């Protein structure tokens, strides 16, 4: 049997969503029971997602549709982290955005205005609004002096139908054409982890991060010295592990293994 006592003893949990709790609109095995266990044991927890598409309220509503009731304050997104970072750098600035309403609203709430002529920043997140026209304008604006920001560096992400392109892949053509590098705010940027710990009011030693990606979730935990739990229900597969120069503290099939009363623990 796996020794999961070190995970279960933690007071706080930072949890990824895509590939950990759900794939698209399909709830993953044991996700509901995991959240029930967190609540029953008075654990502090925060769903810290690199997705920038939805607001915390929308994420709470999505989980409710899937059968899990969680209040909006338990969610923090790369859109919120990006808006917070830009507000600290250039209060009251303007942005050209390629992304969904969750990102746009976060930037509005942080005091930014939309500008497709001479913005201070070009901000790229995931979304269906990505097009050749938007790409061409983004390149033009970056060449004209706007700074390029990506909400997260993920190249791909899990969906119901398989793996789909994510923010890092969408930013890459702009980087190549404009001959520049984007600054990514989401995991594994330490900013995102510090925001998460502050919201949890927790110390790193009493916290675990649960995620499905070695290149964002696990490396973020390693660099922040937070206990790391890799679940194999998303992007990473066992064959990937030897290709990384760091390793997770724990490797599980999914979050269904964490609750003490789990009947599915693997040997």
CATH number of the domain residue 100 falls in: 3.40.50.1000
**pLDDT higher than threshold 90 for residue 55:** yes
Compute φ and ψ for 112, nearest 5 degrees.
-90, 150
| Residue 230 and residue 175 in one domain | no
- Of 4-13, 119-128, 157-166, least confident by mean pLDDT is 157-166
Residue 140's domain comprises 90-184
- Answer yes or no: is 153 within a domain: yes
Region 87-104: mean pLDDT is: 96
212 assigned to active site? no
- Answer yes or no: is 75 within a domain: no
Region 28-46: mean pLDDT is: 97
- Answer yes or no: is 104 within a domain: yes
- Answer yes or no: is 60 within a domain: no
- Of 115-119, 188-192, 257-261, least confident by mean pLDDT is 257-261
Q: How far apart are CA 74 and CA 52, in angstroms?
A: 15
Confirm if 99 and 150 have CB atoms less than 8 A apart. no
- Name the catalytic one among 3, 18, 109, 215: 18
Average pLDDT, the chain: 93
3-state helix, strand, coil in the chain (%, to 5): 40, 20, 40
The confidence band for 160, taking pLDDT boundaries of 50, 70 and 90, is low
What integer pLDDT is reported at residue 163 of this predicted model? 75
- Answer yes or no: is 28 within a domain: yes
| Residue 211 and residue 153 in one domain | no
- Answer yes or no: is 248 within a domain: yes
What integer pLDDT is reported at residue 107 of this predicted model? 98
109 assigned to active site? no
**pLDDT higher than threshold 70 for residue 264:** no
| Residue 202 and residue 175 in one domain | no
What integer pLDDT is reported at residue 128 of this predicted model? 79
What integer pLDDT is reported at residue 261 of this predicted model? 63
CA-based nearest residue to 58, from 106, 124, 102, 103: 102
**pLDDT higher than threshold 60 for residue 159:** yes
pTM for the model: 0.88
**pLDDT higher than threshold 90 for residue 158:** no
End-to-end, the C-alpha distance of the chain in Å comes to 4
Of 184, 199, 215, which one is at a domain's C-terminal end? Answer: 184
**Number of domains making up the chain:** 2
What integer pLDDT is reported at residue 15 of this predicted model? 98
CB < 8 Å & 24+ apart, contacts of 157-160? 157/18, 157/19, 157/51, 157/126, 157/235, 158/18, 158/19, 158/23, 158/24, 158/212, 158/234, 158/235, 159/18, 159/23, 159/24, 160/23, 160/24, 160/25, 160/26
- Name the catalytic one among 3, 16, 154, 212: 16
Of 184, 216, 249, which one is at a domain's C-terminal end? Answer: 184
């Amino acid at each position: 049997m796996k020794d999961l006592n070190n995970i279960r003893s933690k007071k706080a949990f930072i949890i990824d969503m895509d590939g950990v709790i759900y794939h698209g609109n399909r709830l993953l095995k044991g996700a509901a029971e995991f959240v029930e266990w967190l609540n029953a044991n008075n654990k502090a927890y925060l769903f810290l997602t690199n997705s920038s598409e939805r607001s915390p309220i929308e994420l709470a509503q999505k989980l409710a549709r899937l059968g899990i009731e969680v209040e909006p304050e338990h969610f923090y997104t790369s859109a919120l982290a990006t808006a917070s970072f830009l507000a600290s750098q250039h209060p009251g600035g303007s942005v050209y955005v390629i992304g969904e309403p969750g990102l746009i609203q976060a930037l509005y709430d942080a005091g930014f205005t939309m500008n497709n002529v001479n913005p201070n920043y070009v901000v790229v997140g995931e979304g269906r609004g990505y097009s050749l026209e938007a790409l061409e304008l983004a390149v033009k604006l970056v060449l004209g002096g706007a700074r390029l920001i990506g909400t997260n560096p993920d190249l791909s992400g899990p969906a119901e139908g398989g793996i789909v392109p994510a923010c890092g892949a969408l930013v890459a053509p702009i980087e190549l054409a404009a001959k520049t590098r984007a600054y990514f705010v989401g995991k594994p940027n330490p900013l995102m982890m510090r925001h998460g710990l502050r919201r949890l009011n927790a110390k790193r030693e009493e916290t675990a991060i649960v995620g499905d990606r070695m290149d964002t979730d696990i490396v973020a935990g390693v660099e922040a010295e937070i206990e790391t739990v890799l679940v194999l229900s998303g992007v990473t597969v066992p064959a990937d592990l030897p290709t990384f120069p760091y390793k997770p503290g724990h490797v599980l099939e999914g979050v269904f293994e964490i609750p003490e009363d789990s009947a599915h623990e693997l040997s």
